[in-house]
Structure 1
Amino acid sequence: MKKTISVALTGNPNVGKTTVFNTITGSRQHVGNWPGVTVEKKTGRCEYADTSIEVTDLPGTYSLTAYSADEVIARNFIIEDNPDVVVQVVDASNLERNLYLTMQLAELGRPVIVALNMVDVAEGRGDTIDEKRLSELLAMPVVRTVGTSGRGLDRLLETIIAVAAKGEKHTHTIGYGDEAEALISDLVRILDDDPALAGGYPLRWLAVRAIEGDSAVLALIEKSSVAGAVQARLQQIDLDEYEALLADKRYEAIGAILPQACTMCVRKMTGSDMIDRVVTNKYLGIPIFLALMWGAFQLTFAVAEPFMAGIEYVFGWLGEVVAGSIGNEWLASLLGDGVIGGVGGVFVFVPNIFILFLILSILEGSGYLARAAFIMDRLMYVIGLPGKSFIPMLMGFGCNVPAIMSTRTIEDDRDRLITILVNPFISCGARLPVYILFAGVFFGRDAGNVIFGLYALGIVVAILSAKLFRCTILPGESSPFIMEMPPYRIPTIKNAMLNMWEKGSMYLKKAGGIILIGSLIVWFLASYPAGVEYGSEESFAGMIGHLLEPLVSPLGLDWKIAVALIFGFVAKEIVVSSLGVLYGADEGSAALSDALLADPALSMAGALAVMVFVLLYMPCVATLGVIKKETGSWRWAGFSVLYGLVVAWILAFATFHLASYFLGGA
């Protein structure tokens, strides 16, 4: 009768693990799901040297920290199912990163084999790896393989059989320093008093994971008879400090091993590494990110001002030409108030939008925005928003539509749904004209600070909403975000300009199409019934506005703002063009600015309330459509509208009354 050996195949993503699995097992595979989750489970068999080998392909994971479902599955299988052999497939061309998982596997006390995969790639770039020396240093077998060609796989199978026959568990451990080792020893003694823990788990591993704040391990200990003693000992230390210490010690061990076993594998610290020590620093990272964003908005205003003045002059001249050369009063009003007053009031903000997109393109091309995602990951995970969601949030600064579509890369359905629902709170480029108009009119030189505050408020509301959803309608654990940092590069002018044009041209197309149509509709409502004064309270627009005025008057707003907000549902830029039409500002943005400033119904507090409301209220039609498409439900699209309106009204109300108190009647 053939002996059967169970093998767990683990490793980082993209190391060729599945290729090795497919080559070994061939067509003898079974694919299903792990119990209770939608993560795919692959098992396969192969016959070698009169031995039946059953291989389980575990989900790819960078560590065994058990933050994500993949990590929990991989770790639980190794510990609880107790396979005869654990084979870690390692990318030989990126040993330093891959060996971190090896260090964690070494603490599990299981028979481990390292499959040094992709050695052809490593050799092609000049690396020379001494697998025998590496095996001695790791105290575990190391086998060279090339999964794509099958090279070394026979040797791997022979090693699996030999290791399983010995039945020896891996006992090599990392030294974490005298202070940490004393703490680990204390915890091991405490844990050993519980027979269930001592008989089912490697106690040193439990102690290390408890120190690192592993929620699954702490929950396990909490059910034991030694929970109080463990908790009392952990309360005596700074867990964050020890977690960082243990991670540093693992990397120190890797740094000591690599030079002895590999030539060219150890890369010197690069300029990117040195910059990252500052910009991704635990304490400096977020302040640097906020400072860069603040500088971006200040620079946007400073550089755009002369261009805005030029565009205002052109549209002012056009308004005068239309008023003086067209005798037909109806046609003159249509072209002057409807087209020039509407579309012209939006086009004047093109310089600001293009300059902001250029700055963001430069930051993206330099490699910094990837760091911004990394910097925000820890904060977002703590409050319930998955770390991967920060990439769609960054994209949302341009447009919420592609940002929501990009959530397809998020594996967990609840994480993805939360990201979709909060993304409309991220201030897209379409809202910027509203901010520029009101902030420029009422706050002058402080306009950049006000707009920066609005963008920050959008992020805060998105984060707090994610926490609320996670605690109520969509409970569960969010997954951490792991990404490889691209090296810093000097952005090319060509790429930055192309990126700017690609994003900015979307705004121009909207200004030339949907905004024109929206402006004409508003002009019609402001001009009729026939015989009424243009934009008066007796017009259709005035009737609609007065119908809604009771809803916005607590926010310090009047009927004209109410009408503009309704049309903002089509596209946020239409808020500005609608106001241009309603205020009869047919001489460009300067005329609209003067009209807003002269309106006794508006104040600085009211201007802040308008901007907060526009930031947070319902998504535009295009965004609403993509929410329905990505969630497959009008229910969630409707929820997004209702939730946004409620949040917008509450915060705009609070903003108006707080600002009225501090600013008085300004």
Structure 2
Amino acid sequence: MAIKIALAGNPNCGKTTLFNDLTGSNQYVGNWPGVTVEKKEGRLKGHKDVVIQDLPGIYSLSPYTLEEVVARGYLVGEKPDVILNIIDGTNIERNLYLTTQLIELGIPVVMAVNMIDLVRKNGDTIDLKRLSRELGCEAIEISALKGEGSRQAAQLAVEAARESCTGELPHVFTGSVEHALAHIEESIQGKVDERFLRWYAVKLFERDDKVQSELGLDAGLLAHLDEHIADCEKEMDDDAESIITNQRYAYIHRVVSRAVQKKARTEHLTVSDKIDRIVTNRILALPIFAVIMAAIYTLSMGSSNFAIGRMATDWTNDVLFGDWVPNALNAFLEGAGVAPWLQGLVVDGIVAGVGAVLGFVPQMLVLFLMLSLLEDVGYMARVAFIMDRIFRKFGLSGKSFIPMLVGTGCGVPGVMASRTIENERDRRMTIMTTCFIPCSAKMPIIGLFAGALFGGSGLVATSAYFIGMAAIIVSGVILKKTRLFAGDPAPFVMELPAYHVPAWGNVLRATWERGWSFIKRAGTVILASTIVLWFLQGFGFTDGTFGMVEDNNTSLLAGIGGAVSWLFAPLGFASWQATVATVTGLIAKENVVGTFGVLYGFAEVAENGDEIWANIARDFTMLSAYSFMIFNLLCAPCFAAMGAIKREMNNGRWTAIAIGYMCLLAYCTALVVYQLGGLVTGEVGFNFFTVVALALVALAIFLLVRPNPYEKERERVAPSRATVTE
């Protein structure tokens, strides 16, 4: 039977680096069942019978964040054979808070004191034997980044698991608190695993609702225990949870004073402090960030000679999937005598559809690489800190800015970037609004209508970004006043790690994991959708006979488009061609231009569709074109992004809510623009939909200015939490 090692520690303690060092390529990445927190599991190199479970970075086992819920559920429910607790040796006092909780679980614990090279550099010394004796668990020094002591720490964990020796619990609590805890242990004896007695007693002392429900204690016993807890609270003039927290830190302080000797510090700024005085400066922070992101987008998605990502994507689209693969497949299938319909499915359906999306992979990989690099050196944490003050005014967290910024390049990595937001409500709202920002795939739509009807005016593209930002701000204000998203944005608690040289192994691994996740998840959705749409566009009824059609005006897709085109009449575009273009845009937004080209009889069109400008100018007015553009910019994103939304939401209901909200907002916005704009220009007479448009404007104003009915609802925040800097 395999030995299960749980890897636990605070954020930025070096846990991921150690996990990668111990497992190498023998690891698997996914999501924890039912939640979107990343799950990493691997086998110890050279030991097929040793499984290492990398738990999310947490500060405690109190269930205040999704990560803590996941970690606590795994440790209490799965009962791993041993816990390998990684602590940051440069911040040992703060890290030991989690250690004391882990030891109370009754599971063998091995403590790995990481970053020992920095401890030595600072002139500090840690007495590991004294530390081990005080805490009652084995302690070893390591440097995960340099590979020092990593294998020995894993070996100690394996030996501790085989011996199943937990040692004596340290005397963390004193006085009446210890007396009350002993009484609670006695009361629940036989109701819980003997090893977990102390942990359950502490949680009952803290009046943990989840533990009370889990144990199913009768009301009489709970009332009896509450009397003892109330006596402690009265004696110590504090609430139970704060009493536990204070006694833990008092104990940790005693341990550190005995086992750690720190060199006297001279008052001077560290290198990180000096950098932060510039990059987090109130005046310079945003310009510096803008320059850095401009450089990243120039490399990944720009049109300059330095745009590595764009050049790779152009080659993938134009050469690989535009020439080599289709020509090779056509030659092979024709030589094999494959039926024309099957050849069309493979080449025009699967290759064209999936290839259009996979063509974005190179520039996405470059973007992921650059962002992973910024994350690893510690800069991205500063960006979230800088933006929090602005975004909080609209009900969002500062961490919401990164996904929206990334979304300007592509919605898929933008949605995936939302997983850095711990608060579930903030994360879901960020996912729902990120795709309002015009991505690079929407640029051809803007270029098409700007060229065909607006004389190529740059104001059209500029207005598209303003509309996207307005949709995000309005959504943030309105949604925060609903029950689903009520409550203040979570308090901004973030570790600001010291700047350091990137660990290239971690950077490359993170880049590959994000890219491969896109290829696997989004690619399957694309494959299914392209097959369906190829069939609908290539088949139909002619002369009462069903089969392949040469004129797509007689296809099933044309029939379906014509049947539902009336839905878009109030928005100013009711032709089946416009409806079909909108539908095919769900595969990939740049398909809108190509679809118009096919429907207007052009085999190929340029990216901005200048060949079909005359047809567009004939079928659209300036106002209806602008309405069409707004709807396609704000409505549900491409299937690739929808696949990413499904993965990050990890919930069918919430995925439907997110996509439904985008479509509803897009429809209402386009309706207001066309109906009220047409009323002003004389293009539209006063009608029923004009009244609807006016009512929508009034409703939006009311929702924006009304008092928040859930004003008193607040996120629960652990009293022991505080903003932590390096």
TM-score, with structure 1 as normaliser: 0.53
| 3-state SS, counterpart of residue 529 of structure 1 | strand
Shift of 1:287: 4.1
1:502 paired residue number = 513
Q: Report the residue type matching 2:257 in the other structure.
A: V
Given that 1:545 and 1:560 are in contact with CA atoms closer than 8 Å, whether structure 2 keeps it comes out as yes
| 3-state SS, counterpart of residue 517 of structure 1 | helix
2:289 paired residue number = 289
Shift of 1:402: 5.4
Q: Report the residue type matching 1:333 in the other structure.
A: G
Within 2, Cα distance between the matches of 1:511 and 1:576? 19
1:649 paired residue number = 667
Given that 1:381 and 1:478 are in contact with CA atoms closer than 8 Å, whether structure 2 keeps it comes out as yes
- Any residues of structure 2 matched to 1:399-414 within 5 Å, and which? 399=413, 409-410=422-423
Given that 1:522 and 1:581 are in contact with CA atoms closer than 8 Å, whether structure 2 keeps it comes out as no
- Any residues of structure 2 matched to 1:9-408 within 5 Å, and which? 14=95, 16=97, 19=100, 23-25=172-174, 26=178, 27-28=181-182, 31=203, 89=249, 118-120=256-258, 122-123=260-261, 127=262, 263-264=264-265, 268-299=268-299, 300-302=301-303, 303=307, 304-310=309-315, 311-318=317-324, 319=326, 326=334, 329-386=340-397, 398-399=412-413
Within 2, Cα distance between the matches of 1:289 and 1:503? 23
| 3-state SS, counterpart of residue 558 of structure 2 | helix
Shift of 1:650: 3.6
Shift of 1:86: 7.9
Given that 1:366 and 1:491 are in contact with CA atoms closer than 8 Å, whether structure 2 keeps it comes out as yes
Does the C-alpha gap of structure 1 residues 654 and 34 become closer, same or farther in structure 2, counting only changes over 3 Å? farther
Please give the per-residue CA displacement for 1:572-604, whole angstroms capped at 9, x wherever unaligned.
579579949965999888589566667525799
Please give the per-residue CA displacement for 1:236-270, whole angstroms capped at 9, x wherever unaligned.
xxxxxxxxxxxxxxxxxxxxxxxxxxx13x56312
Given that 1:542 and 1:559 are in contact with CA atoms closer than 8 Å, whether structure 2 keeps it comes out as yes
Given that 2:403 and 2:413 are in contact with CA atoms closer than 8 Å, whether structure 1 keeps it comes out as no
Q: Report the residue type matching 2:274 in the other structure.
A: M
Does the C-alpha gap of structure 1 residues 356 and 472 become closer, same or farther in structure 2, counting only changes over 3 Å? same
| 3-state SS, counterpart of residue 301 of structure 1 | coil
Does the C-alpha gap of structure 1 residues 344 and 31 become closer, same or farther in structure 2, counting only changes over 3 Å? closer
Choose the corresponding residue for 1:523, options 534, 551, 574.
534
Does the C-alpha gap of structure 1 residues 338 and 640 become closer, same or farther in structure 2, counting only changes over 3 Å? closer
Does the C-alpha gap of structure 1 residues 23 and 643 become closer, same or farther in structure 2, counting only changes over 3 Å? same
1:423 is the counterpart of 2:431: yes
Within 1, Cα distance between the matches of 2:312 and 2:538? 32
Unaligned runs of 5+ in 1: 1-11, 47-51, 60-73, 78-82, 93-114, 129-262, 411-415, 662-666
Please give the per-residue CA displacement for 1:482-515, whole angstroms capped at 9, x wherever unaligned.
2121122344555444333322233333575332
Does the C-alpha gap of structure 1 residues 401 and 376 become closer, same or farther in structure 2, counting only changes over 3 Å? closer
Shift of 1:526: 0.6
Within 2, Cα distance between the matches of 1:364 and 1:482? 17
Q: Report the residue type matching 1:466 in the other structure.
A: G
Shift of 1:539: 1.0
Given that 1:317 and 1:587 are in contact with CA atoms closer than 8 Å, whether structure 2 keeps it comes out as no
Does the C-alpha gap of structure 1 residues 539 and 428 become closer, same or farther in structure 2, counting only changes over 3 Å? same
Within 2, Cα distance between the matches of 1:427 and 1:574? 15
| 3-state SS, counterpart of residue 514 of structure 2 | helix
Higher-Rg member (1/2):
1
Is 21-30 or 478-487 further displaced after alignment?
A: 21-30
Within 1, Cα distance between the matches of 2:458 and 2:211? 46
Unaligned runs of 5+ in 2: 1-92, 102-169, 183-200, 213-221, 543-547, 680-726
Shift of 1:312: 0.5
Does the C-alpha gap of structure 1 residues 387 and 117 become closer, same or farther in structure 2, counting only changes over 3 Å? farther
Q: Report the residue type matching 1:275 in the other structure.
A: I
Q: Report the residue type matching 2:525 in the other structure.
A: I
1:464 is the counterpart of 2:474: yes
1:132 paired residue number = none
1:174 paired residue number = none
Within 1, Cα distance between the matches of 2:551 and 2:509? 41
1:562 is the counterpart of 2:574: no
Shift of 1:523: 1.1
Choose the corresponding residue for 1:435, options 435, 442, 449.
442
1:140 paired residue number = none
Shift of 1:422: 3.8
Given that 1:401 and 1:622 are in contact with CA atoms closer than 8 Å, whether structure 2 keeps it comes out as no
1:413 paired residue number = none
Shift of 1:374: 0.7
- Any residues of structure 2 matched to 1:621-640 within 5 Å, and which? 622=643, 625=646, 634=653, 638-640=656-658
Within 1, Cα distance between the matches of 2:570 and 2:291? 34
Given that 2:394 and 2:477 are in contact with CA atoms closer than 8 Å, whether structure 1 keeps it comes out as yes
Given that 1:293 and 1:452 are in contact with CA atoms closer than 8 Å, whether structure 2 keeps it comes out as no
Shift of 1:364: 1.9
Please give the per-residue CA displacement for 1:527-551, whole angstroms capped at 9, x wherever unaligned.
1115564462321111222233333
Given that 1:285 and 1:375 are in contact with CA atoms closer than 8 Å, whether structure 2 keeps it comes out as yes
Task: State the number of aligned residues.
Answer: 456
Within 2, Cα distance between the matches of 1:581 and 1:388? 40
Q: Report the residue type matching 2:428 in the other structure.
A: I
Q: Report the residue type matching 1:24 in the other structure.
A: F
2:554 paired residue number = 538
Does the C-alpha gap of structure 1 residues 406 and 610 become closer, same or farther in structure 2, counting only changes over 3 Å? farther
Root-mean-square deviation (CA, aligned residues, Å) is 5.5
Within 1, Cα distance between the matches of 2:298 and 2:459? 7
TM-score, with structure 2 as normaliser: 0.49
Shift of 1:378: 1.8
Please give the per-residue CA displacement for 1:172-222, whole angstroms capped at 9, x wherever unaligned.
xxxxxxxxxxxxxxxxxxxxxxxxxxxxxxxxxxxxxxxxxxxxxxxxxxx
Does the C-alpha gap of structure 1 residues 527 and 651 become closer, same or farther in structure 2, counting only changes over 3 Å? same
